[in-house]
Structure 1
Amino acid sequence: MKKILWIYLLLLVPTLTEILESGSLPVKPRDMITDVVMTIFMGILILIVYRGQRRLILMSETDELTRLKNRRAFQKELASAVARAHRLHITLSLAIIDVDQFKSINDSYGHHKGDRILAKIGKLLKDSVRSQVDTCYRIGGDEFAILLPAIDLRGAEGIDRRLEVLRDQCSELLKPYGSGLSVGVATLRKGESLDDLFRRADSHMFREKNAN
């Protein structure tokens, strides 16, 4: 938005410069009015285009069912978060979450019921994390992820509690369908790549799934 305002001001510079240099209004006020109107029109047009582009980007990175960010956004933001964590020497944790036996829910109760369950899980995920700090994603059919940046020891304990509450809430939701939730969490190690971080979190999730 600040960039748009700067562009708008730059469009006004020629007219303002003319007024300042002459010390008075232009000889033809009608020309000045035309310039100002055209400048305002161009500013509005640029703002409309900018907002339209932002809306398209948001739509392309949002999961339609859960309204969480999608896999495309996850891949981009995970890479950025890992690079930032290494550069600033801050912690970063990744949680991978999978709904157990979800295919059987779709097979037994229909995809409409399955979609409603996924939407509810998405809301539970979003409600369980730190607002404007952690980010939730739907990265597959029944698979979710949470990026958890800059967590100290106390924060890690808080995340563990919230994930435990999330498990309980989802278990209550999924129990009537013979399903549950498996969660794997990994914290970025020094020099570790984003692929290795993802693999460790995913491995922990599957270990819990196999134990259930």
Structure 2
Amino acid sequence: MIFQVLVLAISLAERHNRERIARMQTQEKIISLQQEANEALDKKVKERTEDLEQLNSKLQEETITDALTRVRNRRYFDQRFFSLYQDAFRQHTSLALLLMDIDHFKKFNDVHGHHVGDLVLQQVAQTMQDALKRPSDTVYRSGGEEFAILLPNTDISGALQVAETVRNAIANLSLRHQNEELSVTISIGVCAGIPHIRNYQEFMYQRADKALYAAKAAGRNCVRSMTLLGHHDEIS
């Protein structure tokens, strides 16, 4: 009788142990499946977040990029000009602004058509950007055939060197359309100096624009400049 009880007790203990092991294995399996599900969910969330970040970055890029030429647009120019002017004012460093027009572009469009004109705008914009050496120097399309370049930490001498480099690059640009070789030139107005008045970037823009008109009046395909010194109106 005692032996039978022992056998039964051992059998029950073994059964209980097997059930306990089975429960533990089931729990471990559930935990493993849950971990796998969590990892899969985390991966999906991470991928979705990265996709959204890339999309947001692309959308932000599009808002500051000119659709035709792929250089920065007028909206971004206004933002950067304000920001760089304030930086130059606070740090007492020189800032340069170049304003550029493609010479006789309306006539060019009338003769060759707007499609060719668009191709020229694209090549001119890319050539301008390629002519710049520093990552901080950027070309902006401010409208139509008008472009601008902002040069932080650049005095009038440095700005004139950049302007001549850009002007020369455009003058030597070879444009071909239907076996016809075309060429364009640009006029450039430069203003550079250390800002001494906060929030007065419009004055700097006006002086660069005045220099641009002087370049046009001088026969085009040239550079004229004004310094950012009070109301000194000498154009060189």
TM-score, normalising length from structure 1?
Answer: 0.77
TM-score, normalising length from structure 2?
Answer: 0.70
User: Cα distance, 1:109 vs. partner?
Assistant: 1.3
2:188 alignment partner, one of 180, 183, 186: 183
The match for 2:151 is 148
User: Cα distance, 1:143 vs. partner?
Assistant: 0.3
Q: Tell me, yes or no, if structure 1 residue 44 matches structure 2 residue 47.
A: yes
User: Cα distance, 1:32 vs. partner?
Assistant: 2.4
Task: Provide structure 1 residue ranges, at least 5 long, that are not aligned to the other structure.
Answer: 1-24
Are residues 141 and 45 of structure 1, via their aligned partners in 2, closer, same or farther at CA, if it must alter by over 3 Å? same
Q: Which has the higher strand share?
A: 2
Match for 1:163: what amino acid?
A
The match for 1:134 is 137
User: Cα distance, 1:170 vs. partner?
Assistant: 2.3
Cα distance in 2 for residues equivalent to 1:177 and 1:39 = 57
Larger radius of gyration: 2
Correspondences of 1:72-83 after superposition (within 5 Å): 72-83=75-86
The match for 1:119 is 122
The match for 1:5 is none
The 3-state SS of whatever aligns with 2:96 is: strand
Contact 1:99 1:142 (8 Å CA) reproduced: yes
Cα distance in 2 for residues equivalent to 1:96 and 1:70 = 14
Match for 2:165: what amino acid?
V
User: Cα distance, 1:190 vs. partner?
Assistant: 1.2
- The alignment covers a number of residue pairs equal to 185
Cα distance in 1 for residues equivalent to 2:73 and 2:192 = 21
Cα distance in 2 for residues equivalent to 1:31 and 1:178 = 68
Are residues 113 and 31 of structure 1, via their aligned partners in 2, closer, same or farther at CA, if it must alter by over 3 Å? same
Cα distance in 1 for residues equivalent to 2:34 and 2:184 = 72
Contact 1:171 1:179 (8 Å CA) reproduced: yes
Cα distance in 1 for residues equivalent to 2:50 and 2:206 = 42
The match for 2:165 is 165
The 3-state SS of whatever aligns with 1:197 is: helix
The match for 1:210 is 217
Greater relative contact order, per chain length (Cα 8 Å cut-off, separation 6+): 1
User: Cα distance, 1:149 vs. partner?
Assistant: 0.5
Task: Provide structure 2 residue ranges, at least 5 long, that are not aligned to the other structure.
Answer: 1-27, 175-180, 220-236
Cα distance in 2 for residues equivalent to 1:201 and 1:190 = 17
User: Cα distance, 1:43 vs. partner?
Assistant: 1.6
The match for 1:18 is none
Cα distance in 1 for residues equivalent to 2:183 and 2:138 = 28
Contact 2:128 2:170 (8 Å CA) reproduced: no
User: Cα distance, 1:45 vs. partner?
Assistant: 1.1
Cα distance in 1 for residues equivalent to 2:33 and 2:123 = 60
Q: Tell me, yes or no, if structure 1 residue 55 matches structure 2 residue 58.
A: yes
1:176-210 deviation line (CA, Å, top 9, x unaligned): 87963111111242115222221111111112112
1:138-169 deviation line (CA, Å, top 9, x unaligned): 111000000100125xxx54442332132233
Please provide the CA RMSD for this pair.
2.6
